[in-house]
Amino acid sequence: MQVRTPAIICAMRAHGEHGAIVRALTPDNGLLAGYVRGGRSRRLRPVLVPGNLVEADFRARTEEQLPGLTVELTHSRAGLLAEPLAAAAIDWLTTLTAVALAEGQPYPRLYDMLDAALAAIEYAPSARGWAAAAVRYELLLLAELGYALDLSACTATGSRSDLAFVSPKSGAAVSRGAGEPYARRLLPLPLFLVEAGAETNWSDIVAGLRLTGHFLARDILVDRRADALDARERMVTRIARLA
């Protein structure tokens, strides 16, 4: 097995005295894990920061063996670790990717959207500049794993206009007219998720995070994966302070 590919570092775990096991998302091979010799060295620690872009070379003698991994840094986002909100967002998005995806399954759309979301965090550190991209990434991940929300039309009337809520059970959209009598039991649907080019305000951002968070916690981040929600809570708490 030999794969040389661009990759986004998603997780790094110490292994042995000096090495590290790294999980990285690739465009054509999905999430891959590899052992980096000397991964905890002064030279490699700044390279193996989640969110960094690297050229990765995975090599193994057999498919059952954990590949050895060498990396070359192509773009660093390590400087964002000094920005608490940006660091929390990168931590969450890469953690979600590392724990939710099965290894070796290609998700090219997720790779492109994660790369775009991380770039948005880098170039517009204010949450107003990247939170919508983070919510869309969460929605896409749900869809890619078989838990897509149906936001195309009202599940009660079939109407495609004035969609304002989502059923927390079915994940289907509900129009304002059909949903208002049951609004307390439904999740608000922010306009930016159903109308291209719609502006986002703080209430939209909070509603979007509440929406995706409900389904991530219910369908994806369960059992041993539930600990990953701590990273999301850190991000959401910092955003809520700004709203």
Q: What is the pLDDT of residues 2-25, one digit of tens each?
A: 999 999 999 999 988 889 999 999
Range 46-54 average pLDDT: 97
Question: pLDDT for 104-130, tens place per residue?
Answer: 999 999 999 999 999 999 998 678 889
User: What does each C-alpha distance from 225 to 42, 218, 232 come to in angstroms?
Assistant: 30, 11, 12
Question: CA-CA distance, 192 to 204, in Å (whole number)?
Answer: 8
The mean predicted confidence, pLDDT, of the chain is: 94
Query: What 3-state class would DSSP assign to 9?
Result: strand
- Give all domains of the chain, ordered by start, each with its CATH number: 2-76 (2.40.50.140), 82-151+189-242 (no CATH)
Give the CA diameter of the chain: 62
